[in-house]
Amino acid sequence: MNYEELSKLVIQWGKDKQILDKSTPLRQLDKTQEELEETREALVKLVVPNSQEIEAIEEVKDGIGDMLVTIILLGEMVGMDTVDCLQTAYDVIKKRTGKMVNGQFKKDE
């Protein structure tokens, strides 16, 4: 199944669960932040010696998926298609220059 098909299923799920009717874009963004924090906690487990690496990898996978769900629903709430949003972002970053600093890409000003 491709991203667009899965997005439609996620949107239908959001309708079925009344998320799209009873939530707000800001509440949905809060949910994205919550999922981001859970994903970060799972990533931290990957660098801890003797941790449950396979379990942590599955938690990271779940977290990324959960964040995508919340972003897809947020996009629907504000009338935006996340594929279009991704295209817009890519069109900006594809020409961006910068360098890696402490493990993060820092764009040139």
Identify whether 66 is part of a domain.
yes
What was the pLDDT predicted at 49? 63
Identify whether 86 is part of a domain.
yes
Q: Which residue has the higher pLDDT, 35 or 47?
A: 35
Identify whether 17 is part of a domain.
no
The radius of gyration of the chain's CA atoms, rounded to the nearest angstrom, is 17
pLDDT in tens, 41-74: 998 888 766 657 778 889 999 999 999 999 999 9
Identify whether 67 is part of a domain.
yes
pLDDT in tens, 68-92: 999 999 999 999 999 999 999 999 9
Identify whether 49 is part of a domain.
yes
pLDDT at residue 24 greater than cutoff 90: yes
State if pTM tops 0.85: yes
Identify whether 104 is part of a domain.
no
Identify whether 30 is part of a domain.
yes
Pairing relationship of beta strands 104-107 and 98-101 according to DSSP bridges = antiparallel
CA separation for the pair 82, 76 (Å, rounded): 8
CATH number at 57 reads: 1.10.287
Please give the tally of structural domains in the chain: 1
